[in-house]
Structure 1
Amino acid sequence: MTVESITFIGGGNMARSLIAGLVRQGVPPAQIHVAEPVAVLREALAADFGVQTHDNAADAAAQGQTWLLAVKPQVLREVCQSLQALALAQAQAPLVVSIAAGITSAQLQRWLGGALPVVRAMPNTPALLGAGVTGLYATPAVDAQQHAQAERVLASAGRTVWIEDEALMDSVTAVSGSGPAYVFLLAEAMEAAGIAQGLPADAARALTVQTLLGASRMLDEAGESPAELRRRVTSPNGTTQAAIESFQADGFEALVAKALRAAQQRGRELSAAND
């Protein structure tokens, strides 16, 4: 796997998952630099992957042609401004990849001091297992080589989906970035309901987990729409129909749509709050 030198600004869980994926796919650890202020995290990254670690963002960024910003949205402005002089001094502008929810490419360019090539990325937590999905948006300044570089880096954690309209990145966050938590909430509710009906806790958990895993595989592998798969398993007047009708009587689809709108709106609020 050919990847140019890359610097991670932030060494938390998502950065760690991407680093693990890159190393697993053959990227030399010497090409990966990580800036992380917490010493114990730096030491763990160096010990586990052999990557180069730094306690200063600018020192790490000076070593990479791609900067992957993996810090919280609330501190991203400060981090970018600390890198502004370095970004402007380089003969070739670095590719900036941000995984911060709600922070726009225009904000990143303004904080970094110029129209740098920016890719916004929204991975999700199954990236920790190499089973994630990442929505990506590239500004016009991103050339073909940089586009491919961003694709290679994020594909190390799972599938990628490119979005043409940046305004839709908040919807990506609502659907897939936050999406695993919705599945975990459903699992929590199913497990609790099974226990309430008398199932042993270990049985309720196993039945819930394997059901969600199997259903997800069918969604991925069957080549049919969710609606069609649901129809196939819903026998007329059977147990599944009774449950589906109960869900729908309580406005299940409207509830999901409302929840995703709330997540989308929160992404927009994060952008405004950090401008």
Structure 2
Amino acid sequence: MTIRLVLAGCGNMGYAMLSGWLKSGKLAPAAVFAVEPNADLRKRVEALGCGSSADAGGIPADAAPDLVVIAVKPQVIRDVTAAYKRFGDGRTTFVSIAAGTPVATFEEILGNRAPIIRCMPNTPAAIGKGMMVVFSNRLVSDDAKRFVADLLSASGEVADIDDESLMDAVTAVSGSGPAYVFHFIEALTVAAEKAGLPTRTARLLAMQTVYGAASLAAESGEEPGVLRQQVTSPNGTTAAALAVLMGGERLTNLLTEAVAAARLRSIELGK
């Protein structure tokens, strides 16, 4: 079978996305070739039925993949990407999931004929519940955009932007956002313990409440504000709590400040 996709890097995110593509049937194992220097990580990929090698030199000489997916850490992006320059003739689309690395960096390395898509995923992509946001340079064809969006949909929701500078805001909201939610669960657990609940029960209540509320928000079709109002009886317990969280727009202001800080840091790291 013809190799359709070369995956450069099979760490946690690369492997999770690959697993989703194969399980969903969007790609056949024989259509994927992975490049990963770590022998243990290569074995995981080979167990899925994909070909692999320790470096780009092991890619079959006659390979002409539709996609090369770069899934390595930003600090090694230049060295890794340079090894794939032979695919930069315009026939292969490059997809990067390296945080903070602009399209211009890949254009500099691969030349001015390479179609390039920059993708910002987040960690829930590992269980098919992620948020992937993509930006494409002008050379990416509509067919390639559809193919990539279809692949990424195996890992969660997909959105596209036409202004790459917005990637810093994307990073601050959905890229870093899971950590904010994890901390909210931690904080709600502590609050539950201080209210007298045993630790195990406090943790379960906090986690399941966040999970259930997010699922309801995603599946009900209602706006979050409407769902909030449905839970809030006048002068009831929920109203008393929301008076603390919403008074002076306290929580909104705190999250706005947090996102702004993350966005500024993303801009700094991208320079």
Aligned residue type for 1:55: A
What residue is the counterpart of 1:183 in the other structure?
Answer: 181
* Superposition pairs of residues 1-275 of structure 1, within 5 angstroms: 5-26=4-25, 27-47=27-47, 49-60=48-59, 63=63, 64-84=65-85, 86-88=86-88, 90=89, 92-249=90-247, 251-272=250-271
Change (3 A) 1:178 1:58: farther
> What is the CA distance between 1:140 and its match in structure 2?
1.2
Does the 8 Å contact 1:102/1:269 carry over to 2?
A: no
Residues 221-248 of structure 1, C-alpha deviation per residue, up to 9 Å, x if partnerless? 2222222222221222222122222123
Mapped partners of 1:243, 1:146: distance in 2: 48
Mapped partners of 1:81, 1:66: distance in 2: 15
Q: Which has the higher contact order (CA 8 A, sep 6+)?
A: 1
Does the 8 Å contact 1:73/1:270 carry over to 2?
A: no
Mapped partners of 1:184, 1:40: distance in 2: 30
Aligned residue type for 2:218: D
Residues 148-204 of structure 1, C-alpha deviation per residue, up to 9 Å, x if partnerless? 121122112111111122111221111111111111110011112111222112211
After the TM superposition, which of the residue ranges 234-243 and 25-34 deviates more from structure 2?
234-243
Aligned residue type for 2:106: L
Aligned residue type for 1:222: S
Which ranges in structure 2 are unaligned for 5 or more consecutive residues? none
Mapped partners of 1:233, 1:61: distance in 2: 59
Mapped partners of 2:30, 2:264: distance in 1: 40
Aligned residue type for 2:32: I
Change (3 A) 1:60 1:256: farther
Mapped partners of 2:140, 2:177: distance in 1: 28
Mapped partners of 2:60, 2:165: distance in 1: 28
Mapped partners of 1:106, 1:197: distance in 2: 52
Mapped partners of 2:268, 2:130: distance in 1: 25
Mapped partners of 2:139, 2:260: distance in 1: 30
CA RMSD in angstroms comes to 1.9
SS at match of 1:156: helix
Aligned residue type for 2:83: S
Mapped partners of 1:151, 1:192: distance in 2: 40
Does the 8 Å contact 1:9/1:71 carry over to 2?
A: yes
Mapped partners of 1:61, 1:98: distance in 2: 22
Mapped partners of 1:171, 1:186: distance in 2: 20
Length-normalised TM-score, structure 1:
0.90
Change (3 A) 1:50 1:249: same
Q: Identity over the aligned pairs, expressed in percent? A: 38
> What is the CA distance between 1:58 and its match in structure 2?
4.4
> What is the CA distance between 1:266 and its match in structure 2?
2.0
> What is the CA distance between 1:114 and its match in structure 2?
2.4
Change (3 A) 1:233 1:32: same
Aligned residue type for 2:145: H
After the TM superposition, which of the residue ranges 36-45 and 53-62 deviates more from structure 2?
53-62
